[in-house]
């Protein structure tokens, strides 16, 4: 989808803002000359003819669509009047009503992409305010389809939960990869070999899950039924508290997302 509108990204020099910018430019959602990015400390030499500014209000005035990509704890100090324009928030925890009031618009979409937007493989849940139009929804889909995959969800509670499950998502396989690599190195495997083996295993698993119709639990059960080395590893991991650790971690992220919205 080609959107003949101007887009601004507050926090365009940050990791996520930069990733979204790269994805929407690569997908042709916006032309470089129609993209404005703001920065706090230093701009980056990227994105060709795009316009960079330190003035967030200048960005808002130049843009039809404003993407707010700052840390939630920095949001209270952000001064930006959207003057009725569409605002897309990618901040964890910040509520639709608070965004509407702060930025002077009833057209707000709360979203939560993840770091995989850098390679156009993010998953992004989102929900729109009552004032958002069908065109606003179409624009939101175009932007986050460019970043990977997206779903409109039923409630802000869904966004709060998915903040931990998918918003934090790349961190969890990375945590597993780090533990697997460390163990391999402890057993004398060369670091380059360990990294290549672990990364190939995780990326291959992702592709397998995409291609096969079974749910992940079915695949785990297949390995358990085979009663080989994988079954021995799974049973020991579960006995050591693997499932409980994952549940507790996701619950902690869910509670943190809710509390972030209450304290900003």
**Structure tokens belonging to residue 104:** 């002077």
Rounded to the nearest 10°, the torsion over CA 11, 13, 16, 19 is 130
Question: CA 246, 148, 198: angle at the middle one, nearest 5?
Answer: 50
What are the boundaries of each domain within the chain? Answer: 7-162, 171-263
Do 7-162 and 171-263 come out as alike in CATH topology? no
Q: Which two tokens stand for residue 196?
A: 């290549």
Question: What fold does the segment set 171-263 form as a domain?
Answer: ProC C-terminal domain-like fold (1.10.3730)
Q: What is the pLDDT of residue 48?
A: 87
| 127 beta partners | 110
Q: Read off the pLDDT of residues 77-119 as tens digits, 9 standing for 90 and up.
A: 999 999 999 999 999 999 999 999 999 999 999 999 999 999 9
CA-based radius of gyration for the chain: 21
Please choose, from the candidates 115, 151, 112, 110, the residue with its C-alpha nearest in 3D space to the C-alpha of residue 131. 110
Q: What angle do CA 148, 151, 157 make, to 5 degrees?
A: 125
- 10-residue mean pLDDT profile of the chain (264 residues): values are 78 96 96 96 87 97 98 95 98 96 98 94 97 98 98 96 91 96 98 98 94 92 95 97 96 91 70
Q: What is the pTM of this model?
A: 0.90
- Dihedral sign of CA atoms 254, 99, 26, 58 in order: negative
Q: What does the alpha-carbon distance between residue 14 and residue 9 come to, in Å, rounded to a whole number? A: 10
User: Is domain 7-162 annotated with CATH 3.40.50.720?
Assistant: yes
């Amino acid at each position: 989808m080609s959107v003949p509108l101007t887009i601004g990204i507050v926090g365009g020099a940050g990791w996520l803002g930069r990733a979204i910018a790269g994805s929407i430019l690569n997908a042709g959602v916006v032309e470089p000359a129609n993209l404005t990015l703001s920065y706090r400390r230093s701009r980056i030499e990227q994105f060709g003819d795009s316009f960079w500014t330190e003035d967030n209000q200048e960005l808002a005035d130049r843009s039809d669509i404003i993407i707010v990509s700052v840390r939630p704890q920095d949001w209270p100090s952000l001064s930006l009047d959207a003057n009725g324009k569409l605002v897309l928030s990618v901040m964890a925890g910040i509520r639709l009503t608070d965004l509407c009031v702060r930025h002077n618009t009833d057209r707000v979409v709360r979203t939560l992409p993840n770091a995989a937007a850098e390679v156009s493989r993010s998953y992004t849940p989102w929900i729109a305010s009552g004032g958002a139009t069908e065109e606003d929804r179409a624009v939101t889909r175009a932007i986050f389809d460019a970043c990977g995959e997206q779903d409109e969800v039923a409630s802000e509670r869904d966004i709060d939960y998915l903040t931990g499950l998918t918003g934090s998502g790349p961190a969890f396989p990375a945590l597993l990869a780090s533990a697997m690599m460390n163990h391999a190195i402890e057993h004398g495997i060369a670091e380059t070999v360990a990294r290549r083996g672990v990364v190939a295993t995780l990326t291959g698993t992702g592709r397998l899950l995409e291609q096969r119709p079974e749910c992940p639990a079915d695949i785990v059960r297949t390995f358990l039924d085979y009663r080989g080395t994988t079954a021995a590893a799974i049973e020991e991991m579960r006995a050591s508290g693997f499932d409980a650790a994952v549940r507790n971690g996701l619950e902690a992220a869910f509670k943190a997302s809710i509390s972030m919205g209450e304290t900003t």
